[in-house]
Chains A and B, each alone.
Chain A
Amino acid sequence: MTWWSTLFAVSPLVVVALGALLLMLAEALGRPAPAADGAVVTDVGSGRAGELGIGSAVVLFAGGVFALSLWMVGPEALPGAEGLAPYFIVDRFSAFFGVMLCLGGGLSALLGGGYLDEHGIDRSEFFPLLLWATLGAMALAGAGDLLTLFVALETMSIGVYAMVGLRRNGRAIEAALKYFLLGGFAGALTLFGAALLYGATGHTDLAGIGASVGTIGQPGSTVPAGLVLVAMALVVSGLLFKVAAVPFHMWTPDAYEGAPTPATTFMAVAVKCAAFAILLRVLFGAFADERVASWGTGWPPVLAVLAVATMTVGNLIAGRQESVKRMLAYSSIAHAGYALLGVVAAMRSGMGQASVLFYLLAYTVSTVGAFGALILCGRRGAEAVSYEDLAGIGRRHPVVALAFSLFLVSLAGIPATAGFFGKLGVFLAAIDAELYVLAVVGLLNSFLGAYYYLRVLVYMYMREPSPNAPRAVPMRSGQVGVAIAVAALLVVWWGLFPLSIGADVTAAGSAPMAR
């Protein structure tokens, strides 16, 4: 019966893959036929995006349920799961990310259904692409081998390139072009680093690489230290591109702004979380030896500098944006900085990895909600983009404004929201690792960040639109509403009862990163 439990171990991925195949069929067969008598079809494809959006959300939530049941059973108890290592590691870490990525992807799919219908974009290939990209992200979170790492990374990225260029207008294609070129470059860096690692150590699995790196400097070791260092730098910089850390963040604002908002949501949520998952796996699976992972030598001081630069640059530039979508893009850069702080702290603190996981979870629900609320504030032909577009919405559409405020408050890290405990966890981990300066810098940065989040609230509640400006009229969409409601519920729940998942996060964060 081993094959049965092996199948169960990969069931989240299998469910999403089968669902994606079915959805591709449904999408192809469901295309409206051209009118036979030459009559003009006026209502081509209306409502199709909505149905496919619900379909893909159902598939992704089903994948999430399977990941959750895998978590309940306990991946350690499955006899067949070991056989998949190192190509796919079934542990609490990958099950946790399975749930998180399915949640983020499913909510993005709901947003996509509402958004594409409202804006009359008849491009329902969006949903199969989203499912395949989520599959790549889930595989990435479980990758314990450089081969799986590269294939999963590209599966995720290629889908997202196409999602960004969904609308064939100048801005979207420009965003897709920039994202594709820099993403491809980053992928090539990672791959060449992987090839060098293979050459230096003779292993492509992270555990084997870790063991070889551990022998550096001992008598009889044949592992060349310089080559490993170059390879590590290449692999890690490729991954830092994906999490949008400074100085690899240049593509982020353009890609986020030009992409259709549901694709932006997916990029901000699933791509970033999966990239952090594999970053943790690589750093603590292959480069956890104290020769490369101590404060004196190795990656922690470099990553610490990058974390500080990332949050500071993200926050400073976000405050100067006139477009809310672009502001959220810079804010996602800043959030990558806070999460990197947790990664650095995990070097010495046992709670570091758990703090990163909780941070990503809180970030996922808050970001989905914020982009969802932004979608809801706009109408066909009148997307809400700038701060001015949001003026006065607090009085005219109080529910939308309230939801938007909740998510922004959570992103800013104000108490009684999930985002507060996310930041608190990361800072406590930094203090636990005796990185006091980093904790203080992070704290100062979150004050800086509060400024531009609260500025949106000021516009929504205290400003009136200028008399001749077009008034923002929120669209009506049950799907977007449901996605926002789920996100809001989770933000409040984890904000009031963070300890309700504290033990789970700790269990996921303390799994060994490679085997």
Chain B
Amino acid sequence: MIVFGDAAEHFVLVAAALFTIGAVGFLVRRNVLVQLMSIELMLNAANLALVSYNRLHATEMTGHVFAFFVIAVAAAEASVGLAIALTFYRLRSSVYSDEADTLRH
């Protein structure tokens, strides 16, 4: 596959697999914490892709720098997400997004 180049190919395939696992996990599971972990998995898959693609475009470090920004943003997002999940658990004694069903007609 010329698409991924020689060196980066395998890493990117792993990244794509991780991303797919994350996306499927998000869509299939109803446990809020697992869904949160799935989102993190997707973000980390993107990180892996960024870092390994940097081997193809090795003149600049763009991919590496991008990955650092993503790590910081992911941490912020996880903290807000956990706070929301925690409050939801306090109110409903449940961590299943199925039970978030009062806003429906």
Contacts and interface: CB of A to CB of B under 8 A. Distances in A.
Contact of A180 (B2, B46, B80): B80
26 contacts: A154-B73, A158-B76, A162-B83, A165-B83, A165-B87, A170-B92, A173-B88, A174-B88, A177-B88, A178-B97, A178-B103, A181-B26, A181-B35, A181-B81, A185-B26, A188-B39, A189-B42, A192-B19, A194-B66, A195-B15, A195-B46, A198-B50, A198-B66, A199-B12, A224-B2, A258-B103
> Chain B at the A interface: mostly helix, strand, loop or mixed?
helix
A147 B66 contact: yes
Contacts of A169: 91
A171 B103 CA distance: 7
B70 interface: yes
Interface residues of A, number: 46
A177 B80 contact: no
Interface in A146-180: 146-147, 150-151, 154, 158, 161-162, 165, 168-171, 173-178, 180
A192 B23 CA distance: 11
A377 interface: no
B65 to A, nearest CB: 8
Interface string A323-358: 100100000000000000000000000000000000
Given A168-B91, A257-B103, A188 B66 contact: no
B94 to A, nearest CB: 11
Given A154-B73, A180-B81, A254-B104, 19 more contacts: A147-B62, A150-B70, A154-B77, A158-B77, A171-B103, A180-B80, A180-B84, A181-B26, A181-B81, A181-B97, A184-B81, A185-B39, A188-B46, A191-B43, A191-B46, A194-B46, A199-B53, A253-B103, A321-B105
A402 interface: no
A176 B84 contact: yes
A222 to B, nearest CB: 8
B39 to A, nearest CB: 4
B2 A168 contact: no
Contacts of B49: 192, 195-196, 199
A491 B57 CA distance: 50
B98 to A, nearest CB: 12
A512 interface: no
B21 interface: no
A162 B47 CA distance: 25
A177 B73 CA distance: 18
B69 A150 contact: yes
Which 4 A-B pairs rank lowest in CB-CB distance, beginning with the nearest? Answer: A199-B53, A188-B42, A195-B49, A202-B57
A177 B100 contact: yes
Contacts of A195: 15, 46-47, 49-50, 53, 63, 66
A269 to B, nearest CB: 21
B67 to A, nearest CB: 9
Contacts of B80: 158, 161-162, 180
Contact of B69 (A151, A175, A226): A151
Using C-beta atoms within 8 Å of the partner chain, give the interface range for chain B: 35 or more
B105 A199 contact: no
A187 interface: yes
Contacts of A226: 3
A322 interface: yes
Interface string A422-435: 00000000000000
Given A158-B80, A184-B77, A192-B46, A204 B26 contact: no
A175 B103 contact: yes
A254 B15 CA distance: 33
A227 interface: yes
A148 to B, nearest CB: 9
B14 interface: no
Contacts of A224: 2-3
Most buried by B among A196, A321, A322: A196
Contact of B102 (A168, A170, A180, A188): A170
Most buried by B among A161, A194, A202: A202
Given A150-B69, A161-B84, A174 B22 contact: no
Contacts of A150: 69-70, 73
B81 to A, nearest CB: 5
Contacts of A162: 80, 83
Contact of B56 (A154, A194, A196, A202): A202
Most buried by B among A162, A189, A192: A192
Interface string B6-44: 001000100100010011001000001001100100110
A323 B103 CA distance: 11
A185 B39 CA distance: 6
A75 to B, nearest CB: 26
A168 to B, nearest CB: 6
A174 B23 CA distance: 22
B58 to A, nearest CB: 10
Given A150-B69, A162-B80, A326 B105 contact: yes
Contacts of A199: 4, 8, 12, 49, 53, 56
Interface string A197-209: 0110010100000
